């Protein structure tokens, strides 16, 4: 196990965090009534940011496979080690779930959703499938928001109470302890 994440892993972590938060901000409008032109334009913006997240997610999984993750502080009790691992894997699963449901839902949309010149509405339009997948997409969104809040609380705990390097290592994205 390494001492730290690589610089690329840290940069991807922060880029994904920023884009997902901005994308959630665009997507929170979808629950309410919207003018059709606004909905279609916002769908394209949301799906474009979602596809950038998809690319970063694939890169992140590859780097995690190649470089692994740093060792957790030896002072951490076993229940915290278990929770940290469980939380991180669940975050990966929820991101994958959001991406898969997002792309499939876009596939069944009634109008084109053009992302980098490609129309994502590639299946024939099906309102039932669209709404069914949309409720799963919404469920994954709520679950990931909850986990992001827990993740931020854990980062604050490591920094201010446990006073270990976990959070400060991730904050210093321009530096790594393992020369990668
Ligand atoms: C990156 C993570 C993503 C997050 C956090 C996210 C979040 C959301 C949220 C909160 C909604 C509104 C749900 C509702 O109120 O019913 C939504 C709707 C939607 N998302 Fe995503 N999404 C993500 C990725 C994607 C991707 C990759 C695509 C497709 C390429 C996509 C396509 C859509 C579509 C088509 C809608 C429905 C818009 C509408 O109701 O008019 N999403 N998403």
Give tens-digit pLDDT for 127-140: 999 999 999 999 99
Atom of ligand 1 nearest to the CA of 106: 35
Residue 163 belongs to a domain: yes
Q: Is the pLDDT of residue 1 over 90?
A: no
CB-ligand 1 contact for 60 (6 Å cutoff): no
pLDDT of residue 179: 63
Residue 178 belongs to a domain: no
Residue 34's CATH number: 1.20.950
| Mean pLDDT score across all residues of the chain | 96
Q: How many domains does the chain have?
A: 1
Give tens-digit pLDDT for 37-91: 999 999 999 999 999 999 999 999 999 999 999 999 999 999 999 999 999 999 9
Residue 179 belongs to a domain: no
pLDDT of residue 60: 98
* Residues 65-72: contacts with CB under 8 Å, at least 24 apart: 67/2, 67/5, 67/6, 67/9, 67/178, 67/180, 68/1, 68/2, 69/1, 69/2, 69/5, 70/1, 70/2, 70/3, 70/4, 70/5, 70/169, 70/178, 71/1, 71/2, 71/3, 72/166
Residue 177 belongs to a domain: no
Residue 61 belongs to a domain: yes
Among 141, 144, 148, 149, say which to mutate for ligand 1: greatest number of ligand atoms within 8 Å of CB.
141
Among 16, 25, 30, say which to mutate for ligand 1: greatest number of ligand atoms within 8 Å of CB.
30
């Amino acid at each position: 196990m390494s001492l730290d994440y690589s610089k690329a892993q840290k940069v991807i972590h922060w880029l994904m965090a920023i884009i997902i938060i901005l994308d959630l901000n665009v997507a929170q409008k979808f629950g309410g009534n919207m003018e059709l032109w606004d909905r279609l334009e916002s769908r394209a913006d949301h799906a474009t940011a979602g596809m950038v997240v998809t690319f970063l997610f694939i890169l992140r999984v590859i780097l995690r496979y190649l470089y692994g993750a740093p060792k957790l502080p030896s002072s951490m009790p076993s229940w915290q080690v278990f929770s940290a691992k469980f939380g991180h894997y669940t975050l990966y699963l929820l991101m994958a779930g959001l991406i898969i449901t997002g792309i499939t839902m876009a596939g069944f949309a009634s109008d084109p959703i053009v992302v980098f010149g490609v129309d994502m509405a590639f299946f024939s339009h099906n309102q039932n499938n669209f709404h069914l997948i949309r409720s799963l997409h919404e469920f994954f969104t709520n679950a990931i928001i909850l986990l992001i809040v827990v993740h931020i609380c854990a980062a604050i705990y490591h920094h201010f109470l446990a006073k270990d390097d976990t959070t400060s290592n991730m904050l210093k994205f321009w530096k790594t302890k393992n020369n990668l």
